[in-house]
A and B are shown apart, each in its own frame.
Chain A
Amino acid sequence: MSNRVTAMTRRVSLTARSGRSLAGPRPGPLQYLLLIGLAVLFVYPIWWAISSSLKPPAEIIRDPLSFSPGSATLGNYRAMFHDVPIGTGFLNTVLVVAVKGAMTMFFCPLAGYAFAKYRFPGRNLLFGVLMLTLMLPTLVLIIPLLLEMSELGWVNTYQALILPGSIDAFSIFWMRQTIAAVPDELLDAGRVDGAGEFGIFVRIVMPVIRPGLAALGVLTAMNIYNDFVWPVVAVNDERHQTLQVVLSTLAQNVTGNRIGADFASVWGELLAAGSIAMLPVLALFVLLQRHFINGILAGSVKG
């Protein structure tokens, strides 16, 4: 009897191997408590920012913990839209995410396809160079890139925001791994049907690697949306500021002076701006979490 039970548990744990391997003892209340505590620490600041942004400014200062849905107000948002060019920031960010993201999503799989499925003289050398560029920190390029932009007359332009880093080595590496798993027979079949090299890429490779593309897409969109260091250096006029740059100038006003103007209302605007900037990525994350997690894990494979 007990033999059968152990045999069964053994079979269960073997089938569960692929996903969850550590079949330990049943987790006790302490473990749940620890995990729940940690989860609260991680989520509460987000909740606190969003709920506080809906409070009247005086209330934010009087009692940071209070929140009553009844007295929720959009006053902070109204004031923020009035004082801060956040709409322009949003539009600029959308434009950069769309164009730069589209470039990544097209050129990186294309190069990954060539590295995965073609044999050509110099391939290993070219790929080695590509991997070497992965080790180059963005920081070292900031100053000379800014100078290059000013030589080109590109400071405060969209191309300055979009082109540098638009085709990145890591995404190519990732797509190469993904495309290597596509069976050659599938590509051969396309060739027999008379598809050209580019046609095979567009009509066979791209549809087959859709899950990988989705992960690449959400991660790329998130990274470009949240990008700050380069945009804050490359752009200093209001017309081209991305959302993150607009937010950072708002923060500068806050730390500047706290006596004089009613700084409670500035806090309200700050929280409103932060919340509104968070919402799109958080919504995307909740809807597409599987792709996000695949994307994050793809990063660790190279290690």
Chain B
Amino acid sequence: MTPATLTPVQPERTAPAPPGSRFRRRGPFLTPYVFVAPFYVVFAAFGLYPLLYALQLSFTNWKGAGEARFIGLDNYTYLLTSEEFWSSLGNSAVMWLLIVPVQIVGGLAAAVLLANARLRLRGMFRVAFIAPFVTPLVAMAQVWIVAFDKDYGLVNHLLGLVGLPHIDWLASTAWAKPTLALLFLWKTTGFAIIILLAGLQAVPADVYEAAALDGASRQRQFWSLTLPLVRRSIAFLVVVQTLAVFQMFAEPFVVTKGGPYGSTTTGGLYLYNHITASDLGTGAANSFLLVLLVFALSLLSVRLLRSRDE
């Protein structure tokens, strides 16, 4: 008797649901929450909590032991007026210039060549280009140490063969950054090529045929068709690689230790050095400044790459 008086409500509620979604209401109310809960538990414990902790820490003078004293914005003002902090950002900015434009232009050129429907061996090329991307960075960083050695390295050996002078790749302030940039480029350009190739292939063939019928040259097709259509892929890559370059850590950590004379101490490595120095309050402040900068740069690049749409 009682169940009968209670049940009529439910069929009425399920009935008007849009087709294809009827079943969603059948399961217990809690089911979806239980399914998504593990992520939020892990994030609260190892994401949100440390984030708030870091925020609090950034206003203290804590050195990893002893008492933490609230010092307001001192860590931030210290960093913003410290030469080391700005030079770490400067190093990252130079790295960015050495890496991102080269990778986008070169990657796009390679992707255009690969996208040609009549190209043979495309699969083989693709495998060759992505192979560096899957190798462990630390292992390749070691290979870089050996290959770019001043006296016995592979690269100087090759330079010698064609009569060029040897270069002190890893220990001169002029060459250390390009050497690390080369490692980064070598490792991730295949990734860029794959993303750009997918962007190019999403452009329907008839668009090109129509352009060809209208008498547009290949160059013209590239500038007024291809480029605008892959702008989304380019924007994605610029954002992802900007984030990666400003957080760059393992390359200088393994290959140059940030030297010579701090010339390869990137934003990421400078942050790590606070840990080694147990200067954790400053380190926390440094991470927030770095994150703000990276956000600003990502927003800026998205803006710049979008604005031409209008």
A-to-B contact residues, CB < 8 Å: 10, 13-14, 16-17, 19-27, 31, 34-35, 38-39, 41-43, 45-46, 48-49, 52, 60-61, 63-65, 107-108, 110-111, 113-115, 117-120, 123, 126, 129-130, 133, 135-148, 163-167, 169, 172, 184-185, 187-188, 191, 197, 201, 222, 225-226, 228-229, 232-233, 243-244, 247-248, 250-251, 254-255, 264, 267, 270-271, 273-275, 277-278, 281-282, 284-286, 289, 292-293, 296-297, 300, 303
Q: Which residue of A lies closest to B135 (CB)?
A: A278
Number of contacts between A and B (CB, 8 Å)? 333
Q: Which residue of A lies closest to B19 (CB)?
A: A184
Q: Which residue of B lies closest to A64 (CB)?
A: B154
Chain B contacts of A22 at CB under 8 A? 112, 115-117, 200-201, 203, 205, 208
> Are B291 and A139 in contact, CB atoms less than 8 angstroms apart?
yes
Bound CA–CA A169/B42 (angstroms): 11
Q: How far is the CB of B27 from chain A (nearest CB, A)?
A: 4
User: Chain B, 5-44, contact with A by CB distance < 8 Å: what is the 0/1 string?
Assistant: 0000000000000001111111111011101101110110
> Are A143 and B54 in contact, CB atoms less than 8 angstroms apart?
yes
User: What are 24 residue pairs bridging A and B, where the CB atoms are less than 8 Å apart in the complex?
Assistant: A10-B209, A14-B206, A17-B206, A21-B200, A22-B112, A39-B125, A43-B128, A49-B140, A49-B143, A52-B146, A64-B154, A120-B29, A126-B40, A129-B40, A133-B43, A137-B291, A139-B271, A166-B42, A226-B136, A247-B139, A248-B254, A255-B145, A293-B130, A300-B236
A27-B116, A136-B51, A140-B54 as given contacts; A228 in contact with B145, CB under 8 Å = no
Q: B239 an interface residue at 8 Å Cβ cutoff?
A: yes
> Are A254 and B145 in contact, CB atoms less than 8 angstroms apart?
yes
Bound CA–CA A232/B254 (angstroms): 11
Bound CA–CA A188/B14 (angstroms): 14
> Are A20 and B201 in contact, CB atoms less than 8 angstroms apart?
yes
Bound CA–CA A115/B142 (angstroms): 43
> Are A270 and B117 in contact, CB atoms less than 8 angstroms apart?
no
Q: How far is the CB of A34 from chain B (nearest CB, A)?
A: 6
Chain A contacts of B166 at CB under 8 A? none
Q: Which residue of A lies closest to B236 (CB)?
A: A303
User: Chain B, 261-275, contact with A by CB distance < 8 Å: what is the 0/1 string?
Assistant: 000000010011011
Q: Which residue of B lies closest to A108 (CB)?
A: B39
User: Chain B, 56-94, contact with A by CB distance < 8 Å: what is the 0/1 string?
Assistant: 010000000000000000000000000000000000000
Bound CA–CA A23/B117 (angstroms): 5
> Are A142 and B141 in contact, CB atoms less than 8 angstroms apart?
no
